């Protein structure tokens, strides 16, 4: 059983054998107030304030928003707008000068016996810990954990597919922190009253499959599903189709078919929050591409790419493109001054210099055959190019998950995903 369409790009998972290492916090950390989907968070500190490691420095603004914590102790040097790595425009950030002392707030594991506490209380604590989806979408986790009363969650899926080329973060997290991932899954199952948890891993991750299989042998109501390696297997709707043969309706969410999906790194963060009392201040990322120093590293959020390059002594001579995220859905960076955010799964350094020229659509239909959402990217591309907005709307623009399969397969090299992103932004601005 699998989903419609998809592609098989070369996986380039050359960092999968590298154990997770730590990267020390640099002198300055650049903490964007937009670390999540939704409303920008509100600063709780002023320039000149002294902050502790783990201290909350920004508050969520409303339901779909998230808090922010300092990964170091030190002084707030500035609060100003700097270039954001995914928004591709200037965005407010808190800049903290690290004092090197690592003086921390006291992390109190109040909810270690989480079964003894009200679920709403745990959800609130997860919100206060600043946890968002670490697979890339950065949707505030507390919102997903609190579906409407009429939405019954039967299954919680731990998404360990990691189908993007190069990236090996989730693979290594499952291999090295399998206890924590499974406990995080159990916490989520408790919160949403799910009858079953399913860990889903693509069949190219043999070591992670072995570790998880050994771990869950005696864990009730949790099972392992190994699925075919195919991109974008890790996308929520495609994953649900492959594992449960359920189709999320157009414009709908996984909860509409009784399913909740969490990335395994998010589950690891939930474990650290609930069991250890530690908020989200750092994350594992993959560094890979055409460099000699590759691997998987725990990086304090707010660390700039420039400081990572300096700390690891990475030679970037001849590198023409730096991508934050994977090559399919990641964002190319114009500067190394941007910093790691909660949704940063990897940083790729590539020598390939892509040709931005493209041609007229040749009507081959390849993009239609690979689109996992069964859309017609060829028509969307043409209508967007000619600003035929009424026709664009009729071709289910907002169902596009921006996976990049169409752009990857297009023999005319048309920037279909970029066009679709532009169209979505343009049409929303007209409302």
pLDDT in tens, 382-414: 999 999 999 999 999 999 999 999 999 999 999
Contact 328, 11 (CB under 8 A): no
Contact at 8 Å (CB) between 21 and 169?
no
Mean pLDDT of the chain: 96
Report the chain's C-alpha Rg in angstroms: 21
pTM over 0.85: yes
How confident is residue 430, by pLDDT bands cut at 50, 70 and 90?
Answer: confident
Residue 124 domain flag: yes
**What pLDDT, on the 0 to 100 scale, is given for residue 343?**
96
Q: Is the domain of 308 the same as that of 389?
A: no
| Strand-strand pairing, 222-227 and 196-202 | parallel
The whole-angstrom separation of Cα 175 and Cα 187 is 20
pLDDT tens-digit readout, 13-45: 999 999 999 999 999 999 999 999 999 999 999
Residues 249, 383 within the same domain: no
Residue 369 parent element (H or E): helix 366-370
pLDDT for position 83: 97
Looking at residue 431, its pLDDT comes to 75
Q: Look at residues 354, 377, 409 and tell me which one is the last residue of a structural domain.
A: 354
Whether residue 222 is predicted with pLDDT greater than 90 in this model: the reply is yes
pLDDT over 90, % of the chain: 96
pLDDT band at 270 (very low <50, low <70, confident <90, very high): very high
The residue assigned the tokens 């609130």 is 124
Q: Is the pLDDT of residue 73 over 80?
A: yes
On whether both 280 and 169 belong to a single domain, the answer is yes
Tokens of 160: 């360990």
Instruction: Give per-residue pLDDT as tens, 178-203.
Output: 999 999 999 999 999 999 999 999 99
Asked if residue 325 lies in contact with residue 263, where contact means CB atoms within 8 angstroms, the answer is no
Residue 1, pLDDT > 80, answer: no
Note whether 258 and 224 are same-domain residues: yes
Are both 182 and 308 inside the same structural domain?
A: yes
**315 belongs to a structural domain:** yes
Q: Are residues 239 and 111 in the same domain?
A: yes
pLDDT at 352: 84
Mean pLDDT score, 150-175: 97
Regarding whether 312 and 219 lie in a shared domain, the answer is: yes
Q: Is pLDDT at 377 greater than 90 in this prediction?
A: yes
Could you tell me which residues come within 8 angstroms of residue 171 by beta carbon, excluding any fewer than 6 positions away?
Answer: 13, 16, 160, 162, 205, 207, 208
Q: What one-character-per-residue DSSP string does 124-158 give?
A: HHHHHTT-B-TTTT--BHHHHTS--TT----EEEE
Question: What residue numbers bound the domain in which 389 lies?
Answer: 366-430
Q: Say if 206 falls within a structural domain.
A: yes
| Last residue in a domain, options 320, 354, 388 | 354
Report which of 221, 162, 171, 168 is spatially closest to residue 196, judged by C-alpha positions. Answer: 221
Instruction: Using alpha carbons, list the distances in angstroms from residue 59 to 41, 42, 168.
Output: 5, 5, 31
Instruction: At 345, give phi and psi (nearest 5°).
Output: -95, -20
Instruction: Tell me if 97 is assigned to some domain.
Output: no
Which band of pLDDT confidence, cut at 50, 70 and 90, is reported for residue 288? very high
Check whether residue 248 and residue 143 sit in a common domain.
Answer: yes
Q: Is 266 helix (H, G, I), strand (E, B) or coil?
A: helix
Q: What is the pLDDT of residue 137?
A: 84
Whether residues 310 and 384 fall in one domain: no
Number of domains in the chain: 2
**Cα distances (angstroms) measured from residue 96 to each of 18, 75, 151, 229:** 30, 6, 42, 42
**Separation between Cα atoms, residue 421 and residue 400, nearest integer Å:** 9
372 and 299 part of one domain: no
Residue 320 lies in a domain: yes
87-120 residue pLDDT tens: 989 999 999 999 999 999 999 999 999 999 999 9
Task: For residues 335-353, give the mean pLDDT.
Answer: 95
pLDDT at residue 350 above 80?
yes
46-67 per-position pLDDT tens digit: 999 999 999 999 999 999 999 9
Asked if residue 42 belongs to a domain, the reply is no
Whether 149 maps to a domain, the answer reads yes
Q: Are 402 and 301 in the same domain?
A: no
Q: Which of 354, 378, 399 is the endpoint of a domain?
A: 354
CATH of the domain at 280: 3.40.50.11540
- 85 domain-assigned: no
Least confident of 120-129, 133-142, 274-283: 133-142
Q: Do 303 and 382 belong together in one domain?
A: no
199, 160 Cβ separation under 8 angstroms? yes
pLDDT score of 354 more than 80 = no
Alpha helix positions (H), 177-263: 178-192, 206-216, 236-244
């Amino acid at each position: 059983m699998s989903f419609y369409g998809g592609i098989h790009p070369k996986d380039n998972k050359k960092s999968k054998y590298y154990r997770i290492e730590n990267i020390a916090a640099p002198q300055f950390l650049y903490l964007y107030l937009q670390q999540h989907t939704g409303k920008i968070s509100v600063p709780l500190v002023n320039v000149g304030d002294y902050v502790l490691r783990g201290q909350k420095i920004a508050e969520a603004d409303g339901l779909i928003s998230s808090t922010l914590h300092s990964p170091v102790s030190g002084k707030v040097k500035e609060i100003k707008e700097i270039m954001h790595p995914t928004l591709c425009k200037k965005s407010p950030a808190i800049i903290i000068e690290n004092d090197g002392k690592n003086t921390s707030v006291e992390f109190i594991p109040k909810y270690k016996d989480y079964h003894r506490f009200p679920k709403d209380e745990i959800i609130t604590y997860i919100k206060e810990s600043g946890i968002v989806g670490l697979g890339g979408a950065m949707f505030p986790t507390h919102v997903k954990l609190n579906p409407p009363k009429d939405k019954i969650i039967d299954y919680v899926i731990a998404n360990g597919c990691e189908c993007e080329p190069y990236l090996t973060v989730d693979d290594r997290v499952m291999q090295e922190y399998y206890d924590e991932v499974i406990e995080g899954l159990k916490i989520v199952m408790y919160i949403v009253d799910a009858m079953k948890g399913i860990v889903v891993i693509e069949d190219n991750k043999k070591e992670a499959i072995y570790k998880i299989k050994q771990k869950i042998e005696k864990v009730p109501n949790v099972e392992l599903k190994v699925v075919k390696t195919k991109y974008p297997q890790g996308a929520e709707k495609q994953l649900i189709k492959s594992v449960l043969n359920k189709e999320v309706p157009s414009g709908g969410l996984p909860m509409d078919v009784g399913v909740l999906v969490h990335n395994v790194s998010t589950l690891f963060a939930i474990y650290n929050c609930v069991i250890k009392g530690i908020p989200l201040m750092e994350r594992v990322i993959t560094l890979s591409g055409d460099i000699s120093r590759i691997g998987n590293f725990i990086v304090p959020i707010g660390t700039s790419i420039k400081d990572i390059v300096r700390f690891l002594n990475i030679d970037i001579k001849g590198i023409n493109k730096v991508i934050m995220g994977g090559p399919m859905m990641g964002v190319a960076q114009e500067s190394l001054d941007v910093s790691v955010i909660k949704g940063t799964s990897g940083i790729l350094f590539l020598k390939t210099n892509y040709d931005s020229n493209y041609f007229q659509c040749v009507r081959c239909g390849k993009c239609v055959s690979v689109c996992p959402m069964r859309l017609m990217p060829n028509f969307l591309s043409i209508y967007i190019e000619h600003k035929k907005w009424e026709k664009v709307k009729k071709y289910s623009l907002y169902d596009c998950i921006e996976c990049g399969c169409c752009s990857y397969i297009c023999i005319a090299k048309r920037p279909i995903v970029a066009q679709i992103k532009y169209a979505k932004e343009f049409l929303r601005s007209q409302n």
